[in-house]
Amino acid sequence: MAKRIYFFGGGQADGDGTQKPLLGGKGAGLHEMTRLGIPVPPGFTITTEVCTAFFASGERIPEGLLDEARAAIRRVEEIVGTRFGDPENPLLVSVRSGARASMPGMMDTILNLGLNEAIVAGLGARTQNPRFALDAYRRFIVTYADVVLGIHRKRFDDALEIARRKAAAARGMVEAQRLTVAELQRKLPDSMFDEETLRSLVKEQRRIVQEETGTPFPDDPWAQLEGAIVAVFRSWNNNRAKTYRKMHDIPEAWGTACNVQAMVFGNLGEDSGTGVAFTRDPSTGEKRFFGEWLPNAQGEDVVAGVRTPNPIAKGQGNDEGSLEVRMPEAYAELVRTQERLEKHFRDMQDLEFTVQSGRLYLLQTRNGKRTGRAGVRIAVEMAKEGLIDQREAVMRVDPASIEQLLHPTIDPKAPKTLLARGLPASPGAASGQVVFHADEAERKAAQGLPVILVRAETSPEDIHGMKAANGILTARGGMTSHAAVVARGMGKCCVAGCSAVAVSYETATMTVTIYDELGRPTDTVSVKGGDVITLDGATGSVYLGAIPTAPASLSSEYEELMRWADTARRLKVLANADTGADARTARSYGAEGIGLCRTEHMFFDDKRIAAVREMILARDVDARKAALAKLLPYQREDFTAIFQEMAGLPVTIRLLDPPLHEFLPQERKQIEDLAATMKVRPAELVRKVEELHELNPMLGHRGCRLGVTFPEINEMQARAIFEAACDVAEKGAPPKLEIMIPLAMTRKELALAKATIERVASEVFAEKGRSVSYLFGTMIELPRAALRASELAEEAEFFSFGTNDLTQTTMGISRDDAGKFLGAYVEAAILPKDPFTSLDTEGVGELVAIACERGRKTRPNLELGVCGEHGGDPSSIRFFERVKLDYVSCSPLRVPIARLAAAQAALTEGGATTLQTTA
Ligand code: PEP
Ligand code: MG
């Protein structure tokens, strides 16, 4: 039987840092730290395999596991010198979840386990601090009741408030009854509760449990332990965890490990405390030890963000409260430890620590979450420091996170009204309507309204609202609060801990206190739900109204990383761009040409649409040619602009693709206007529009089928292309021209189009007295085209996979309607992902592979690329590397992502350049 429990403690550990799949990230970190001799309270990890077995057997703890846990607890007792369940000298434990990938705050944790009334009394006597023992117990009861017994927290919150009001009255705080819950909480925080208050609170909590469950709160520590283990495993499947997994592509099958560990207490008094730290700044990536802590507190206090924490080091505000000043010895040891851990794990670490009566303990180390900008900077600087090599630096950065570097920032020159300043928790800038609830955020965002979610603090229940919002503002909490960590992961702009803001959910208002330069309150502004505000996540500023944003500027570390990536990359990265301006943007992001220019986008322009409609509705060929002649100069102008931007680089122009009816007027007024211009009766136009109507337009008269019935369209487009290319060639370097036919399925369709294009080319070249070279090719968008690739390659000099249509036609799923049911497919794991976002490599991918192989057989130097949306999707790019396409083409803003993803694909899929290891 596989080993189910891994012990760590006393300088020895059964596991190590490499065993994340089995021990979870938290577990693996604890085992490795123990091996390194770092002070870690002893404990044990129940493996993720046990969690999987637990679910496989209908949520039953495997036979014999609890006996093994008992034996492991005995070993902990020996090391710590206390005994589990012994009122004289009790051992308390924490029971924590910890999956292979970190899922911050998504699953459950129980602290202070192993208490009952007798043990509380014993612990109070032994620590000479009965208040502390009672405080630990009341926290334990609430968490246990919530997590294990499933009793709503609200009941305990209410009990807490009643206790607070009673305590206030007893202290003679006459105004207490008039204060709001939040105001009173500030005046009389939990930490000021006396023994008597805590004792009656505990009594009330136990009464609630009895009332809700019909049985007393469990007093047997072993029963508590069993309940907690079950709850931790179950929490793998709670809704928050499921949502998080979906967002981060974490497989359902992994399961969580369960860590049981001796408690150390940060709330034993003023020489105790607890905190969270990062070995480098998770927001900017700067190499500076950075973190927050709270004196006399337990870990949950820091993360919950109810108290605003102090900095760890000096020079980060509130020096007096810093750990460096308050506990210099523990601080010095923490600094040494963080340096060691970063060197050892060769990555930025996110640490949790507790100081108990002056002694430092590490409770967690893991690779820290970071912003996209920080990720790039850390990878590049670590390579330069020699901690990792360049290859690893390229592999370290998640291509999707690069997107954050491309985020807009607030236009510095725009006029603005500063409301307040909070912590710059996650970069980016966002404007939107203020909403106070996650559900409301989701509802409004679904209507296309940009919203800013404003909360006193966020909790995992708010995650769907955070996802829907453009930005997040919280009144409380620090840089490591839930809001900050989650927003950073989502790449969303977030301002946290904005203490000038007071949120009232009852009245849907946030009241902002305005301060003068000397920090004196001068005024208050009240912002209602629905009012617009703007957040600047880079500075922590909150502004009234909407403010224009300026485009992102890329860091020098980014440029360096991309250079390394480009050295490793085999696939070329082109862009999908339809205008000169798009082409310029694409170039600035490093596109090496244009892989798809959709010419129909040029048709929608206000000035041109009339000519387009005339062309479509023309009674005969001559009338159509006359209308096309009006379009020709426009098309030529567009092509000229693009060719100038892309001198010397490939530019792939696709001939007209969509069904013609897409260009026609639908509304009565538009039809009447057009009829007047064309000098026909409106009824005639209506009839024509009806004639063009198709039941399945995506499978209808579109793509190269248009050229078969109306060859004049191809003629006009080819003429515009060649005239523009000759004109550009006259002044400088022409682009590497490629002309592409959409939606082909037979060789003959290609031969027909090719004949037209060749004829027009020779006409234009003769007129211009010069020629430009070009390739003729086709998109592969139909299964038949993929299967008959060997014939198509007789005509085509290149293939470009139109994987949007190829997905649609292979899977028989309409691109335009899939949204209605694809979500359910992904939810039920029928499909792993939306196949229009991430290529279905098994099905659609097989057709791509077949077409590559058969096409190359006919024409060994056949050029192969992809221009569907998948060209900018990292996991699809890995597949395109495997089938050895020549290029991917994607929207301009995804070009950097594709460059990095292509480099990573080359480095992992083999056969690629290896990078130098010197920086
Ligand atoms: C495609 O089908 O993948 C493609 C790029 O063409 P469009 O999206 O214009 O249909
Ligand atoms: Mg297409």
Q: Which fold has domain 408-550?
A: Glucose Oxidase; domain 1 (3.50.30)
Q: Indicate which residue of 31, 51, 258, 482 is catalytic.
A: 482
Residue 94, classed as helix, strand or coil, is strand
User: Are the CB atoms for 11 and 34 separated by under 8 Å?
Assistant: yes
**Segment 616-642 mean pLDDT:** 92
Best CA proximity match to 546, nearest among 445, 448, 449, 446: 449
Q: Is the pLDDT of residue 305 over 60?
A: no
Ligand 1 proximity of 601 Cβ (cutoff 6 Å): no
Tokens read off for 351:
């640490």
If 0-12 CB within 10 Å is exposed, 13-18 middle and 19+ buried, where does residue 278 land?
buried
Ion ligand 2 neighbours, Cβ < 5 Å: 781, 802, 805
3-state helix/strand/coil string of 603-659: HCCHHHHHHHHHHHHCCCHHHHHHHHHHHHHHHHHHHHHHHHHCCCCEEEEECCCCC
- Rounded distance, CA 361 to CA 262, Å? 11
Look at the block and give the residue holding tokens 């009332």: 211
Q: How far is CA 655 from the centre of its chain?
A: 36
- Rounded distance, CA 435 to CA 467, Å? 13
Mean pLDDT (the chain) is 91
pLDDT tens for 854-871 read 999 999 999 999 999 899
pLDDT for the residue 489 = 59
Tokens read off for 116:
């009952």
| Residue ID of nearest Cα to ligand 1 atom 6 | 802
pLDDT for the residue 517 = 63
CA of 872 from ligand 2 middle (Å) equals: 16
The alpha-helical segments, DSSP class H, found in 769-843 are: 783-787, 789-795, 803-811, 819-827
Is the torsion defined by CA of 116, 117, 122, 126 positive or negative? positive
**Segment 328-347 mean pLDDT:** 97
Tokens read off for 353:
């620590």
pLDDT for the residue 916 = 44
Q: Is the pLDDT of residue 534 over 80?
A: yes
Question: What H or E segment, with its residue span, contains residue 160?
Answer: helix 153-170
Q: Is the pLDDT of residue 61 over 70?
A: yes
What pLDDT band is residue 676 in, cutting at 50, 70 and 90?
confident
Q: How far is CA 671 from the centre of its chain?
A: 45
pTM of the model: 0.79
Phi/psi zone of residue 879: left (φ > 0), alpha (ψ -120 to 50 degrees), beta?
alpha
| Residue ID of nearest Cα to ligand 1 atom 9 | 598
Residue 258 bridge partners (DSSP): 46, 97
| Residue ID of nearest Cα to ligand 1 atom 3 | 802
CA of 649 from ligand 2 middle (Å) equals: 23
Ligand 1 mutation target, pool 698, 740, 745, 805, most atoms within 8 A of CB: 805
- Rounded distance, CA 435 to CA 785, Å? 50
Ligand 1 proximity of 835 Cβ (cutoff 6 Å): no
Ligand 1 proximity of 868 Cβ (cutoff 6 Å): yes
**Segment 282-303 mean pLDDT:** 86
- Rounded distance, CA 384 to CA 560, Å? 11
pLDDT tens for 390-437 read 999 999 999 988 877 877 778 777 889 899 998 877 778 999 999 999
Ligand 1 proximity of 529 Cβ (cutoff 6 Å): no
Q: How far is CA 525 from the centre of its chain?
A: 33
pLDDT for the residue 292 = 92
What's the length of the chain?
919
User: Are the CB atoms for 642 and 577 separated by under 8 Å?
Assistant: yes
Ligand 1 proximity of 802 Cβ (cutoff 6 Å): yes
pLDDT tens for 122-166 read 999 999 999 999 999 999 999 999 999 999 999 999 999 999 998
Amino acid at position 790, single letter:
S
Give phi and psi for 85, each to the nearest 5: 85, 5
User: Are the CB atoms for 75 and 7 separated by under 8 Å?
Assistant: yes
What pLDDT band is residue 235 in, cutting at 50, 70 and 90?
very high
Pick the atom of ligand 1 nearest to 781's CA.
Answer: 2
User: Are the CB atoms for 330 and 355 separated by under 8 Å?
Assistant: yes
Q: Which residue has the higher pLDDT, 177 or 24?
A: 24
**Segment 230-248 mean pLDDT:** 88
Give phi and psi for 791, each to the nearest 5: -75, -45
Ligand 1 proximity of 781 Cβ (cutoff 6 Å): yes
Residue 653 bridge partners (DSSP): 597, 739
Binding residues, as ranges, are 598, 654, 781, 802-805
Ligand 1 proximity of 596 Cβ (cutoff 6 Å): yes
User: Are the CB atoms for 440 and 538 separated by under 8 Å?
Assistant: no
Residues whose CB is less than 8 angstroms from the CB of residue 318 and which lie 6 or more positions away in sequence, other chains included: 310, 311
Residue ranges matching CATH 3.50.30.10 in the chain: 408-550
CA of 602 from ligand 2 middle (Å) equals: 16
CA of 383 from ligand 1 middle (Å) equals: 39
- Rounded distance, CA 120 to CA 134, Å? 6
**Segment 58-80 mean pLDDT:** 97
Residues whose CB is less than 8 angstroms from the CB of residue 174 and which lie 6 or more positions away in sequence, other chains included: none
CATH no. of 266-370? 3.30.470.20
Residue 451, classed as helix, strand or coil, is strand
3-state helix, strand, coil in the chain (%, to 5): 50, 20, 30
CA of 422 from ligand 2 middle (Å) equals: 47
| Residue ID of nearest Cα to ligand 1 atom 1 | 802
CA of 743 from ligand 2 middle (Å) equals: 7
pLDDT for the residue 579 = 85
| Residue ID of nearest Cα to ligand 1 atom 4 | 802
Burial 151-182 (b: 16+ CB within 10 A, else e): beeebbeebbeebbbebbeeeeeeebeebeee
User: Are the CB atoms for 439 and 412 separated by under 8 Å?
Assistant: no
Tokens read off for 332:
């010095």
Ligand 1 mutation target, pool 781, 813, 876, 880, most atoms within 8 A of CB: 781
Ligand 1 proximity of 598 Cβ (cutoff 6 Å): yes
Q: Is the pLDDT of residue 914 over 50?
A: no
**Segment 317-322 mean pLDDT:** 90
Residue ranges matching CATH 3.30.470.20 in the chain: 266-370
Ligand 1 proximity of 659 Cβ (cutoff 6 Å): no
- Check if 867 is active-site: yes
| Residue ID of nearest Cα to ligand 1 atom 10 | 805
Q: What angle do CA 797, 799, 805 make, to 5 degrees?
A: 150
Tokens read off for 300:
């949950």
pLDDT tens for 711-729 read 999 999 999 999 999 999 9
Residues whose CB is less than 8 angstroms from the CB of residue 236 and which lie 6 or more positions away in sequence, other chains included: 51, 55, 97, 99, 107, 255, 256
CA of 587 from ligand 1 middle (Å) equals: 21
CATH no. of 5-265? 3.30.1490.20
Do β-strands 417-421 and 541-544 pair in parallel, antiparallel, or remain unpaired? antiparallel
Best CA proximity match to 541, nearest among 356, 414, 715: 414
Ligand 1 proximity of 743 Cβ (cutoff 6 Å): no
Amino acid at position 827, single letter:
E
Residue ranges matching CATH 3.30.1490.20 in the chain: 5-265
What pLDDT band is residue 60 in, cutting at 50, 70 and 90?
very high
pLDDT tens for 166-202 read 888 888 887 777 887 777 887 888 878 899 999 999 9
- Rounded distance, CA 510 to CA 528, Å? 6
What pLDDT band is residue 912 in, cutting at 50, 70 and 90?
very low
Q: Is the pLDDT of residue 913 over 50?
A: no
**Segment 469-480 mean pLDDT:** 85
